[in-house]
Amino acid sequence: MEKIPASEITPEHLYFTRRQFIAAASAVAAGALLSACGVPSPPPTARPTIAQPSPQASKGVDELGDKLTPFDTITNYNNFYEFSLDKEDVAPRAKDFKTSPWTVQVGGLVNKPRTFGLEDLLKFEQEERIYRLRCVEAWSMVIPWLGFPLSKLLAQVEPQSKAKYVRFETLLDPKQMPGQRDSYFDWPYVEGLRLDEAMHDLTILATGLYGKPLPPQDGAPIRLVVPWKYGFKSIKSIVKIDLVEAMPISFWMESAPNEYGFYANVNPDVSHPRWSQATERRIGEFSRRKTILFNGYADQVAPLYAGMDLRKNF
């Protein structure tokens, strides 16, 4: 697909390819996660740099030997409509975004609703650290993400039997996020997963990249990473997570229902109404690459969709 003008309704197709992730554990304490208030926050407290990236990342390549996208590119070419529709304007607009204090409220159909602080999140990350190295956009990038399994957080609140879906919500703060002043969209940004998708080992909450805390333009301080789905599913700057019985109506389903479905599984055989999704282009390269079903994670995630029509459930 060709680069789409920023003026068009185009979500961030930040999606992640291939099969492997690298896990490393550190024994510390247990913990969990975050939600933000609509009032101005005090200056952020200093956050320590999060451990070094995995051995592959330290060598400048991913688990398949592909060269990592430079840090400056990853942090200066972003889809984050809360700040700007212009991918190169997000970083400067987000530079003063306050990420501490930060909390995430987790509730809905759970037995133990909780509000998790940023300090809990960092403990969680230390306890069960996961590195995921390969990812792409409508253009492509290879990014060394750092995070922990979403399932670890959800286990803390004990989902009830009626819970079938997980609904995520981004911070709503037009003072800090100037893009939210655009009345065309129905803010805040909302996304959702089926509960079994959310509990899958490949689904993570990312806290950093390149061994450092997430920059604001990349979704600080906490974002979702679902490696077999298109990137608009990987909601950024999360403040609220609810377990619900009915399928959530996501931001892009509400904004352009004929273009964006709930599942958003990477599928080269299902075209977007305005472009083909059969290929992708990696930043720094001129040629295009074939898009792989489920971004190469078919062995792990295809059973989640057994018997489903992936063209209808797009």
Residue 121 has a pLDDT of: 87
Domain-embedded: residue 10 = no
Name the token pair of 125.
Answer: 């990350």
Domain-embedded: residue 172 = yes
Residue 177 has a pLDDT of: 98
Mean pLDDT of the chain: 81
Q: Is the pLDDT of residue 164 over 90?
A: yes
Largest Cα span, the chain: 52
Q: Is the pLDDT of residue 44 over 70?
A: no
Domain-embedded: residue 11 = no
Q: Which of 154, 228, 224 has its CA nearest to residue 189?
A: 224
Residue 134 and residue 11: Cα distance in Å, rounded?
Answer: 20
pLDDT band at 28 (very low <50, low <70, confident <90, very high): very low
The number of folded domains in the chain is 1
Q: Residue 289 is part of a domain; what is its CATH number?
A: 3.90.420.10
Q: Who's near 30: CB < 8 A, 6+ residues apart?
A: 123, 124, 127
State the residue range of the domain holding 64: 22-305
Domain-embedded: residue 13 = no
Give, to the nearest 10 degrees, the angle between helix 150-157 and helix 118-127. Answer: 120
Residue 275 has a pLDDT of: 92
